[in-house]
Amino acid sequence: MTSTFMGLEIGRKGLQSHQQALAVTGHNLDNINSEGYSRQRIDIMPFDPIYLPGLNRAETPGQLGQGAVVERIERVRDELLDRRIVTQASGEGYWTVRDRYIQEMEQMYLETGANSVRSKMDKFWDAWQELSMHAADNEFRTAVLQRGKTLIDGIHNHYNGLKMLQTQVNDDIEMNVSRVNEITRQIAALNKDITRIKALGDNPNDLMDRRDSLVDRLSSIIDVTVTQKDPDEFMVHTSGHVLVQGQVARQFDMRKDVDEESYAHIFWQDTKREIVFTRGSLGALMELRDATIEDEIQNLDNMTMNFVDLVNEIHRGAYGANGTTGSDFFSEYPFVANVNGNYDRSGSGVFDSSYIYRINGQNRLESQAQTGLQGTITLSGANGDINVPYYATDTVADIITRVNNSGAEVVARLNRDGLLTLKGTPADLVEGQRVNPDFVIRHIEDSGHFLAGYAGLLNASGPEGAFNWNQADAVTSLRGGPETFAVAPISHPAGWIEVNPALLKDPGSVAAGFSYNDHAANPGNGDAAAAIAAIRNSPVMVGRLSTFDDYFADSVGRIALLGEQSGRALETENRIMKYLTDMRRSISGVNMDEEIANMIRYQHGYNAAARFITTVNSMLDTIINRMGV
């Protein structure tokens, strides 16, 4: 039933409601520049009327209201838009990081003039050309040595620059993993507080804003999705796995493989299983470290190894001014000391593998001669063996081209003596991992007689005559002695190849001429120096490229394309994110004009409630103090 003092209670509710509304407005204005803040809205609802349906309801016309109360204080958010932003942020994070590091790589390849590796290599070839015309003068041998040392220093600098960038990326990965672990712990802690506050019937708006801001930061590092099927269990997923479930946050560890040269990979702390990210800044960093930069290092290694091997091949067969022969111009260091390349790959203490880099045939071949043979050459590839067929109408050059274009991790060429040469190349990634060593021939087999009888490389055709690296003394399947093959080099030759120190001590040992009729070359014979200089424009089998000029042109072009791709992709991602964030800001951001208008509106409501109380108080004063007997 109604009360004499009911008006005061209605006025009190009005004062409190509009006072809270003013407080919310002030809170919004104070946080107008707070990152991640969502404007809050207060819902003022009518209080339950005094009479509700029932047997004890008084006989009065209609329901008598009891003023207004605050129903809720909620934040203004569009959940679908928030999920779109979380999904899009991983793409922007990916291209932001990738573009930054690709620009750094571009700076390494933009060396011009005498500082570039290409310029230093041109001067190296020029020095050999000069020596071919002045083979009797040791000063030109000294020039060759100095140009060779300058070139090697340039290759070392380029390798070290790429390696330092790769290490920088790895450090960035470790920092990002630590950041992800910290963010997930904070999200789990906020989930605990939010759940407790919601249990009391309140809306922890500021805490939820802070959690959403953390999710936004997390989504730029890794690809995440957010679900909340249970109101009390906020969940974050990544790569199909639960990352945060309510108050539990799963963490990541980083562990290295047995190989000390490898970098650490990311594992779940609880299950010890590896996880690979493909989006977000962390996905970009892992791809840069393990693929993009590693591929550039491998390309440099491949060029360096072929360059060194070709120069040494000619230099070993030539004579110096002092009559010495059989020496290498560049120092090559084998991966294993065993002359047959035997290696204990399993760590059992017993040789179980053969690490061979180059194999030469025994028979001189003519490039344009038809073989008249038919069969299939089987060579090792990244994801299994690759079959290369050949036919009776094929020339030797046709078969070599087909091998080099097959995608196998073995390439072929005819050396200056017309002998077929097979070489191992850097190994490709297998499911994101580099499981095979670089510059190692793993399998050679021929169902026909091209490699066996024709080229004189294998002892027999078919599986019984195949070369398989997964056994010791695999070289017994090759025709010829140790001079027909070379043991695989230590990894990353671009970082350690040097000019032969013996030649630096005695420039007269630099070979310039070939022997004739089993006699040492004449002092003025420069045929060998001319042959080395000719390597510059000769098909030298640098992977699928023809010449060293092709390598440099391909490297610069490849990096330029990567830079263009990352720049355009980043621009697109930035535009999409700007559109989405502007839309969210228009919905959830604080508008000063709107808040000031609300402030005036709530102020008038507060004043009206106060005036209502004054009026009721005056009425009560009349009843209490002015009604006499």
Q: What is the pLDDT of residues 251-280, one digit of tens each?
A: 999 987 655 567 889 999 999 999 989 999
pLDDT band at 541 (very low <50, low <70, confident <90, very high): low
Residue 112: the pLDDT is 64
Size (the chain), residues: 629
pLDDT band at 6 (very low <50, low <70, confident <90, very high): confident
Sign of torsion, CA 515 520 525 528?
positive
Beta-sheet strands, E only, within 66-201? 68-75
pLDDT band at 336 (very low <50, low <70, confident <90, very high): confident
User: Roughly what angle, to the nearest 10 degrees, separates helices 138-199 and 205-221?
Assistant: 160
Q: Quick check: 545 pLDDT over 90?
A: no
Q: Quick check: 458 pLDDT over 90?
A: yes
Residue 259: the pLDDT is 54
Q: What is the pLDDT of residues 354-368, one digit of tens each?
A: 999 999 999 999 999
Q: Quick check: 603 pLDDT over 80?
A: yes
Q: What is the pLDDT of residues 491-506, one digit of tens each?
A: 889 999 999 999 999 9
Other CB atoms within 10 A of residue 584 CB: 17
Query: 371 near 431, Cβ under 8 Å?
Result: no
Question: pTM of the entire structure?
Answer: 0.86
Residue 113: the pLDDT is 64
Residue 482: the pLDDT is 84
Residue 53: the pLDDT is 60
Q: Characterise 504 by phi-psi region: left (phi > 0), alpha (psi -120 to 50), beta (else).
A: alpha
Identity of the amino acid at 117: V
Q: Quick check: 51 pLDDT over 70?
A: no
Q: What is the pLDDT of residues 206-217, one digit of tens each?
A: 999 999 999 999
Residue 324, phi then psi, degrees to nearest 5: -80, 155
Residue 538: the pLDDT is 79
Residue 236: the pLDDT is 95
Comparing 255-269, 430-444, 580-594, the range with the smallest average pLDDT is: 255-269
Q: Quick check: 629 pLDDT over 60?
A: no
The mean of the pLDDT values for the chain is 90
pLDDT band at 191 (very low <50, low <70, confident <90, very high): very high
Q: What is the pLDDT of residues 137-190, one digit of tens each?
A: 889 999 999 999 999 999 999 999 999 999 999 999 999 999 999 999 999 999
Token representation of residue 592: 């000063």
pLDDT band at 621 (very low <50, low <70, confident <90, very high): confident
